[in-house]
Amino acid sequence: MDFIKCTEESNNKIIKAEENGKKFIIKNESRYTIRKIKVDGCLIDDVKTKKCDYLFEIEDEDLQVFYVELKGCRVDDAIFQIEATIELLSLRHKNNKKSCYIVASSSPKVGPKRQILMKKFNKKYKCELKFSSRQEVVTL
């Protein structure tokens, strides 16, 4: 995995990733150094391997990592894509605080099946899954 080739490092006030009308935006008011890593199609280029779209490594007091999937409509697939990426990068982010974001085309419903998936995910990775429609904004 070539992290250097797939990474943009910045301390800009606004850092974003967007695809097909879906946006993930970080308002970096504290001006932390943030590494935006293009996972799908760069860091992990194998089409058979499940992976999320982007990864953000934030150099703050918690050394946070954001896993981001910008998804059309198959939200359950997005959960598995983020999970696979966490597994693949488990050594790199072993001691980091993790947050996971799924930005979908429409507002994802959280039915019983998805609630079970989310509980298992949260318990296994100690990481909350956050869903949003079209855009997610995180302020640091």
Q: Does residue 72 have a pLDDT over 90?
A: no
Chain mean pLDDT for the chain: 93
What is the b/e burial string over 62-99, where b = at least 16 CB atoms within 10 angstroms of the residue's CB? Answer: eebbbbbbbbeeebeebbebbbebbebbeeebeeeebb
Give pLDDT tens digits for 125-137.
989 889 899 999 9
Local confidence band at 108 (pLDDT 50, 70, 90 cut-offs): low
Structure tokens at 59: 């150099």
Q: How far apart are alpha carbons 104 and 6 in whole angstroms?
A: 23
Question: In whole angstroms, what is the distance from residue 81 CA to residue 51 CA?
Answer: 4
| Mean pLDDT, range 73-96, rounded to an integer | 91
Give the percent of the chain with pLDDT over 90.
74
Q: Could you tell me how far CA 39 lies from the centroid of its own chain?
A: 10
3-class SS of residue 111: coil
Quote the pTM value. Answer: 0.93
């990474």: which residue's tokens?
Answer: 7
- pLDDT of the residue at 37: 98
Residue 116: its pLDDT value, please?
86
> How far is the C-alpha of 22 from the C-alpha of 20, rounded, in Å?
6
Q: Which residue has the higher pLDDT, 101 or 62?
A: 101
Residue 54 has pLDDT above 90, yes or no: yes
What average pLDDT does this structure show over 64-68?
97
Give yes or no for a contact between 56 and 66, defined as CB atoms under 8 angstroms apart. Answer: yes
